Amino acid sequence: MNKTETKKLSEIISKPEISFDSIFSKEIKLHKFIIECSKLEEPDYNMKDLGYVKSVNPIIRELMQIVNPCIYWFEADNEFEADEMMGDLNTFRNKKIGRTIPPKNKNYGGKCLYLGVRQGGMRKKGNFSFIAGRISIHLGYYHVNSTQGLNLVYWANHNVVLNVLELPQESSIYLNLLEKLLASQMKPLCGRH
């Protein structure tokens, strides 16, 4: 690239409002939730909200208060249960029921099942935060089959821990980078990074 092309490129690419290092000088909140997958209610896609899902209502209500960008991950209690859960997920995958689940990958030996990111904000209707919507998909409470998520209600029987790392609003430009860095450390057992 010559200097003119570099200058044009730098004009197109937005400059971060916050440096990468300064993200960590601001308050970062970690929210942890235990999900008892064996107690998840069967989805009723005719319902307009998740009020009927008593087992996860407190989780969804708390997530609806989060409007900042987030990194989240689901993890098993230990590596043995994580391995067992991946076997259950693959059995579900082979049934081809029509739900879209995260792709297989080559990672093994950890307890992180899946890692993802979500921009901050609220849906225009329904007063639902973006992270609450994304997690409801992973739980299996979204009516569109083609939207990828863990869909835990359909196959999981173990408890999982949902970790949601709430970042400063200005950090959204770095979300994908942070996801790659965390994925290289945590080695989630499904999904592409």
Tell me the mean pLDDT in the region 102-120: 95
- Run of H or E including 34: strand 29-36
State pLDDT tens for residues 13-23.
666 666 666 66
Are the CB atoms for 185 and 71 separated by under 8 Å?
A: no
State the amino acid at position 30 in one-letter form: L
Residue 182 φ/ψ, nearest 5 degrees: -65, -40
Q: Is 118 helix (H, G, I), strand (E, B) or coil?
A: strand
State the amino acid at position 114 in one-letter form: Y
187 Rama class: left (phi>0) / alpha (psi -120 to 50) / beta: left
State pLDDT tens for residues 59-96.
988 999 999 999 999 999 999 999 999 999 999 999 88
State the amino acid at position 119 in one-letter form: Q
Residue 161 has pLDDT above 90, yes or no: yes
